[in-house]
Amino acid sequence: MRLRALLDTDALGLRLLGGEDELDRTVRGVMTTDLRDPSRYLSGGELVLTGLAWRRDADDSEPFVRLLVQAGVAALAAGEAELGDVPEDLVLACARNRLPLFAVHESVAFATITEHVVRQVSGERAGDLAAVVDRHRRMMTSGPAGGGPDVVLDLLGSDLDLRAWVLSPTGRLIAGSKAAGPALPAEVCAELAAEHLAATRTGRRGPHRLSAGQTTYSLFPIRSSGRSPQAARDVRETVLSDWLLAVEADAGDWPAERLDLLQGVTQLISVERDRRDAARTVRRRLAQEVLELVQTGAAPAEIAARLRVAAPVLLPGLGAAPHWQVVVARVEWQDAGIEAGPVAQALLEEILVDPLATGPEPSDRIAVAHTGEEAVALVPLPAVSAEHDGSETGILAEALLQSVREPLSAGLDDDGQLTLGVSAAVHSAEGLRGALEEARHARRVAAARPGRVCAAGHQELASHVLLLPFVPDDVRRAFTARLLDPLRDYDRRHRAELIPTLEAFLDCDGSWTRCATRLHLHVNTLRYRVGRIEQLTGRDLSRLEDKLDFFLALRMS
């Protein structure tokens, strides 16, 4: 805004005392001070408001005015509340240094002037930023990428002083402005993503707001540039794949113009997101071709030929015959009719990203296809020595979910489940079909577990846990109730801790000494409890069959 506009605002009650020829100067901010030397807090273009407490006598005016001029301020406004009329020595000092000077009537608070200037300057800067954003959008849609999300976020930082970050639905940090400073802690990113997904699932109007510690964040969804908010038949088709923009500010009282500007920024970032997805087309097609060959029982030589084409794209520099792992993912909702395959594909691509990498395309070598409701990933691994099976250097099922369980559970709410299965590493085309079936079996084991986000690995397929998920629910409930309910009832009445004693006894392989030591009991006390368990259930814990029944009942309970 111009200085001249201040005089045209009657509510401010300003009176010009000098500098009429300088009224076309631009005001870029406002500062209130009574310091004798405020220059360290000035950056240029400010309207300085002062109550003149710094002035002890007439000799103080000239040094004060020179400091303001050297700092590049736009004008000085002196209040009349304390000293009455503005001293003549200050008027002369401003005239000699060509610094416009205003008198502020005692009835006008400095806060009124500050609020007016800030509102006008912010509105104009937002308009300037909107024009820059519009030019950036036109440039990107007509040619190569314009620098990625970081460039857009830098505009928010430099023009609106807004610290902002782009996050994935799993809470991965994708981009941040230079003004944002250090990267957000991982736990804050996960908390922001969880809040965004939970709010989206409940249908609350955005932007969503969250306070983390002493900081308030506003969250804006970043949807595909080719899809309107109404394009999806159900919010569950997109909630787990949309990015979000987190802004360190409370947008609850923002004017409509600023909210519209932030919506424009999200649209601009979505163009970059679409470019990233387009770059994955080759990898997705390779995965789809390999998957179709494996599922149709193609000859190993044909699959190997396709893998030789895929390896340089997915794992450059590590040879044409790396080891491979297969990861299978599925998103299931309680009601049918929701297209979940593409969502599972996008989620699996996100989950398999290197957790230490940042940016929109970090270590993006994973090939993921989807068939029906299932997504399948071919994960290349560096070739390992012959005496290892690759599992030590490969993907561990539970490790995939450590950082993403909280936000994704919020997005799945109470009617969805994400399950993953991970195969062992294989080193040839002949092993891929078995790896695919292994990963699918592991995923079914994970699906039988409680919780919204579950995974299982190939190691678990070699034990009894492979059988438990396929026992019908009513059979499992009847079996566990027949064995354990008498013990639970007795524990409730007598606080005898028979269930914990049974668990410890089985875990110690029936060793009386080790079990008594673990429970801090005398061996005779332990024998009494075990005898009570046998009496209540009619079983004999010295028999292998009865021990196995109790073990399975505890695992299924």
Could you tell me which residue, 268 or 31, shows the higher pLDDT? 31
Whether pLDDT at 231 is above 50: no
Tell which of 108, 136, 167 closes a domain. Answer: 108
Asked whether residue 135 is assigned to any structural domain, the reply reads: no
157 and 205 both lie in a single domain: yes
Q: Give the pLDDT confidence of 153-212 residue by residue, as tens digits.
A: 877 777 677 888 999 888 888 888 776 566 788 889 989 999 988 888 887 777 888 888
Rounded to the nearest 10 degrees, how much is the dihedral formed by the CA atoms of 44, 48, 52, 55? 10
CATH code, 325: 3.30.70
* Segments of 344-471 assigned E as strands: 367-371, 374-381, 416-422, 453-457
Q: Give the pLDDT confidence of 122-136 residue by residue, as tens digits.
A: 655 555 555 555 555
* Segments of 148-285 assigned E as strands: 164-167, 173-176, 208-212, 215-222, 243-247
85 and 155 both lie in a single domain: no
State the Cα–Cα distance between residues 491 and 501, nearest whole angstrom: 11
Question: How many structural domains compose the chain?
Answer: 4
Rounded to the nearest 10 degrees, how much is the dihedral formed by the CA atoms of 157, 163, 166, 171? 170
User: What is the pLDDT at residue 181?
Assistant: 66
- 202: its two tokens: 């409940």
Q: How far is CA 315 from the centre of its chain?
A: 27
10 Å CB burial of residue 435 (0-12, 13-18, 19+) is buried
- 18: its two tokens: 């000098």
Is 214 in contact with 162 (CB distance < 8 Å)? Answer: no
Q: Which domain range does residue 413 map to?
A: 281-469
Give long-range contacts, CB 8 A cutoff, 24+ apart: 447-451. 447/330, 447/332, 447/417, 447/419, 451/409, 451/417
484 and 385 both lie in a single domain: no
CATH code, 500: 1.10.10.2840
298 and 409 both lie in a single domain: yes
Q: What angle do CA 122, 125, 129 make, to 5 degrees?
A: 135
Whether pLDDT at 377 is above 60: yes
Q: How confident is the model at residue 391 (pLDDT cuts 50, 70, 90)?
A: very low
User: What is the pLDDT at residue 553?
Assistant: 85
Q: Give the pLDDT confidence of 400-457 residue by residue, as tens digits.
A: 877 788 888 888 888 888 899 998 888 777 888 888 888 888 888 888 888 888 888 8
Whether pLDDT at 362 is above 90: no
pTM of the shown model: 0.59
Asked whether residue 76 is assigned to any structural domain, the reply reads: yes
- 170: its two tokens: 């799993």
